[in-house]
Structure 1
Amino acid sequence: MIRVVLPAHLRALAGVDGEVEVAGTTIATVLDGLEARLPVLRGTIRDRRTGRRRAFVRFYACAEDLSHEPVDAPLPGPVVAGAEPFMVVGAMAGG
């Protein structure tokens, strides 16, 4: 199982505390599992119509930014093994 860490505002929206575990081996399958388990998150991480990552959302795993990786690329081994989390992070903007 993949350990997913969500930002505080999405945890509050979904009514979860701490990490969420879902099955998957790619960004796409993890997000599919997350949205299936927590339907209230549909449209918050990726656009409902296009399925593309929202502009101010980033994905990190094993100290790497995976935000611009293909969604069907395999996740790093430690993430798939459950040793490291897959993190969904709200990007900061402003000046």
Structure 2
Amino acid sequence: MIRVVLPAHLRTLSGADREVQLEVPGEPTQALVLDALEARYPMLRGTIRDPKTRRRRAFVRFFACQQDLSHDDPDKPLPGEVADGAEPFLVVGAMAGG
């Protein structure tokens, strides 16, 4: 079971709790986790990833195990602690402004 923590604006849009648990087939990757998240909460499609390219949106970041995974290959396996549910996969809305 993969634990995913969502930022407030995505929780409001989806009606999800702060943390959701997802079944991900096989070895979990960013792409598989996001596929499962979008399958459960279709209203999130296009908010985290571009719907055509499936690339991460510029102002969304991914973290796990105190590491920024935002620029990792989306098909790279997630850390074992995320795969076994000990640590969450965090979706974070980046801060911008000036």
Q: Tell me the TM-score normalized by structure 2.
A: 0.94
Equivalent of 2:54, from 25, 28, 51? 51
Matched, 1:12 2:12: yes
Match of 1:21 in 2: 21
Structure 2 Cα separation of the partners of residues 69 and 7 of structure 1: 20
Over the matched positions of the two proteins, sequence identity in percent amounts to: 71
Structure 2 Cα separation of the partners of residues 51 and 23 of structure 1: 20
After superposing on structure 2, the runs of 4+ consecutive aligned residues of structure 1 that deviate more than 3 Å are none
The structural deviation recorded for 1:74 is 0.4
Unaligned runs of 5+ in 2: none
The alignment yields a C-alpha RMSD, in angstroms, of 0.7
Equivalent of 2:34, from 31, 35, 39? 31
Structure 1 Cα separation of the partners of residues 88 and 68 of structure 2: 13
SS of 2:75 mapped into structure 1: coil
Count of residue pairs brought into register by the alignment: 95
Q: Tell me the TM-score normalized by structure 1.
A: 0.97
